[in-house]
Amino acid sequence: MASRTGGNVRTAIKACAQRLSYREAKKEQQEAIIKFVVEGQDVFVCLPTGFGKSMCFLCIPVLVDIITGKSSAWSVIVIVSPLVALMNDQVTTLNKKGLNAVSIVADNTHHSGDDQSAVVRGDFQYIFTTPEILLCSKDWINVFQSPSFVERLVGVIIDEAHCVKKWGSDFRKEYSKLGELRGFFPPKVHIMALTATASAASRKEIIKVLGMLKPHMIIRCPNKPNIKLVVEEMRDDGLDEVMKPLVEELKRKRTDMDKTIIFCRSYKDCASLYFYCKDELKDSFTDPPGYPNVSKFRMVDMFSACNSSVIKNQIVASFSSPNSRLRIVIATVAFGMGIDCPNIRQVIHWSPPSDIEAYIQEIGRAGRDGKMAYATLLYSKKNISLPFMDSSMVVYCRNNNTCRRDLLFRDFDYTRDEDITGCNCCDLCTMICLFSNTSAFLNSSKTEFKSRTDERDVCHPDSICMPV
């Protein structure tokens, strides 16, 4: 793609923002990402959740059409995404904006020769798919390599790129083969990789697997200063200790309760917490109380691999809705990626993830609207002794003297934000903050008391001193 001047790109971004009903790219990183991709360069993007990464790739085909003078809806991008629910959500959003998007996944049995012909013709600007479809489906490989499709293709987007490192060995092996896309498409087609969480070592590995060519790096620490970090050790099963207060709060506040995600590492834990809530809430499990126990009326729901695609989509749509009855979602890790719900106030981990990167990724669901939120990690001596647990995660759980934020983000280009007050940083800093405030109060009280005592002990010239 021919190089364009920064001014041309900036003007095109304004026109594109209007076309997509987005606010114009206000952040320097957003404009840089768009500029590099439109000019035909690989880009690695590591920016916090809620930053607006989706806007950076969704505007690319529209921008290319504006800059090159192509007819509207000529250019196409392919977005590789890990979750069907996430793809369907993005397709629905784009279609509502009048943009043609489609998701091509293994369980979409309705895809026919007509659908493939539509892709070849360029009827869709946005094609969401999986590594399995791109690399294993012979029919779709033929479609994606057809000359008419390749002519329109302006980029391949690897969304949630941390999955390239996390998966690919034993689970969804095609993720480790995505570098084959380099030989799959012509050199003019460049790659953008996006994630919210990747250390320097992880970034290097992802770039290698994807075969990215001297990518421009757009990096920002995933620290979100509006999330307070808390770690607690569970000595028993934790059900009454942790879940009872949540259930009582839900009984009192109903739909006014802040939205909460509880992440579990297994379906068994998900089910245990779900049925605890159901048994404790009784008729109050639904809203209005006593209504049928179906997804539409539940105040607590469970999201796991055992749910059908239909149920998963219902839970995502309900939780993301501003007027949702759903207040608590008990979920496996799959629920964390790409959920666009700005007003989640609390993320609880029933047990620790296997490593720090996974934990940062998951707590990033909280506070996307910039308001105060809380991330609580629960652990036991048993679950941090499991063989797959990374040593850095164990250290984070056991730590009781170092600021949790400093420890959590030390491998992620973190510099301390002076605007974060101790009481809003983490539970350990809160104790220091409270101790300091208490000490200051006591010292102030002692000084004031001494001053007042001294005043009483002074015999003023005009006073009459009487013997006691």
> Could you give the domains of the chain?
1-219 (3.40.50.300), 227-430 (3.40.50.300)
Helices 391-398 and 356-363: crossing angle in degrees, nearest 10, is: 60
pLDDT for 468 equals: 31
pLDDT for 71 equals: 77
What's the chain's Rg over C-alpha atoms? Answer: 27
d(CA 405, CA 408): 5
Would you say residue 462 has pLDDT above 80? no
Q: Which tokens go with 345?
A: 């106030």
pLDDT for 400 equals: 93
Contact 246/329 with Cβ under 8 angstroms? no
Would you say residue 311 has pLDDT above 80? yes
E strand or H helix at 229: strand 227-233
Would you say residue 94 has pLDDT above 60? yes
Amino acid at 230: V
d(CA 214, CA 157): 16
Percent of the chain residues topping a pLDDT of 70: 86
Q: Which tokens go with 402?
A: 């170092």
Burial 327-354 (b: 16+ CB within 10 A, else e): bbbbbbbbbbbbbbbeebbbbbbbbbbe
Burial 426-457 (b: 16+ CB within 10 A, else e): bbbbbeeeeeeeeeeeeeeeeeeeeeeeeeee
E strand or H helix at 438: helix 427-457
Work out the number of other CB atoms within 10 angstroms of the CB of residue 413: 14
Q: Sign of torsion, CA 375 378 381 387? A: negative
Q: Which tokens go with 455?
A: 């005043």
pLDDT for 418 equals: 65
State the chain's mean pLDDT as an integer.
85
Q: What is the DSSP letter of 328?
A: E
Q: pLDDT tens digits, residue range 377-399?
A: 999 999 998 888 999 999 999 99
Per-residue pLDDT band for 307 (boundaries 50, 70, 90) equals confident
The rounded Cα 281 to chain-centroid distance in angstroms is 29
pLDDT for 209 equals: 94
Contact 326/318 with Cβ under 8 angstroms? yes
Burial 368-384 (b: 16+ CB within 10 A, else e): beeeebbbbbbbbeeeb
**The length of the chain, given as a count of residues:** 468
Task: Please state whether 282 falls in left (phi above 0), alpha (psi between -120 and 50) or beta.
Answer: left
Would you say residue 32 has pLDDT above 70? yes
Per-residue pLDDT band for 446 (boundaries 50, 70, 90) equals very low
19 by DSSP, 3-state: which?
Answer: helix
Helices 6-20 and 28-38: crossing angle in degrees, nearest 10, is: 110
Nearest C-alpha neighbor of 32 from the set 48, 14, 55, 56: 56
